[in-house]
A = this chain, B = another copy of it.
Amino acid sequence: VRVAVLSGGVGGARFVQGLLDAVEPSGVTVIANVGDDLEVYGLHVSPDVDTLLYTVGGEADLERGWGRRGETWRARDAATQLGAETWFQLGDRDLGLHLARREALDRGEPLSAITARFARTFGIEVRILPATDDRLRTWVATGEGELSFQEWFVLRRHEPEVQGVRFDGADTAQAAPGVVEAIAAADLIAIGPSNPFVSIGPILAVEEIREAIRSRRVPSVAVSPLIGGKAVKGPADRMLKNLAGGTGPEHVASCYQGLIDALVYDEADRDVSLPDGVRPIATSTLMTDAASRRRVAEASLEAAAALR
């Protein structure tokens, strides 16, 4: 089975882990959000790509929920002592990845090639592709003005309510090499349980990618990031309420108009009528361990098989 998965960070990465237990990893291509990317100290940080690399590569700190395992903070502490802003925290081992990425970008290697090389080093069999090698950045409109994604998400702890999102660079961004091909060759397109607005939205803002999914000839299945109308982590529930009018499965489905054929959502969410052509699949979607991750992945695969 060849699967093309659209993914943000933590939730998407867990879904990918479940998928890798259910299908042959070599058939899976993960298309990762880069709207969260930022420059810190001149280094290019790509949080969702890195969360995927670390999670699938067994390098993630599962207790802290972000960054690398076995991390230390000596560079950050020294930078703080010398007056640097350190609200976006980079551990020493994570910094090592960013130094290597900066060097590679400086000699002209695109983000997609760098990501593929790092994935090989981490022994990752699944293909992880950034949605685009071009600059694409998410900006968030709030009552306190427009903020860059990370300024809003990390520095402001995603407290200011979101009135809208904008994807700077999306007009001209091209899909990274392999992305459109992976969608075209897939037996199943999956949209992970990531935030529809700021994790999946930036990927779909690349016109080539949206069009490749819109013109699909295979089933496309999304997994809702909400459980009982609440986000497992992050601001997805508040954003759905503000930007889609509610936190039900139908509101999640409305974010993917014309792009999905089924929505996997949690049993705790009320049974509603989804838009025409979107089949409802209620199951337990909380992913706390390998078994539950695999169950969610298999629900998506079964939904696709039933549609085929």
Contacts and interface: CB of A to CB of B under 8 A. Distances in A.
A106 interface: yes
A89 to B, nearest CB: 12
Interface in A286-300: none
A81 B42 contact: no
Contacts of A117: 82-83
Interface residues of A, number: 34
A116 to B, nearest CB: 12
At the interface, is chain A mostly helix, strand, loop or mixed?
Answer: helix
Interface in A83-98: 83-85, 92-98
A68 to B, nearest CB: 8
Interface stretch (A72-80, A215-223, A246-254, A260-268): A72-80
A100 interface: yes
Interface of A: 41-43, 68, 72, 74-85, 92-104, 106, 117-118, 121
Given A72-B72, A74-B74, A103-B41, A96 B79 contact: yes
Contact of A43 (B42, B77, B97, B121): B42
Contact of A100 (B79, B96, B100): B79
| Highest count of chain B CB atoms <10 Å: which of A76, A81, A100, A104 | A100
A124 to B, nearest CB: 13
Given A82-B100, A83-B100, A100-B84, A93 B75 contact: yes
B43 A83 contact: no
Contacts of A118: 82
A118 B92 CA distance: 21
A94 B81 CA distance: 12
Contacts of A75: 75, 92-93, 95-96, 99
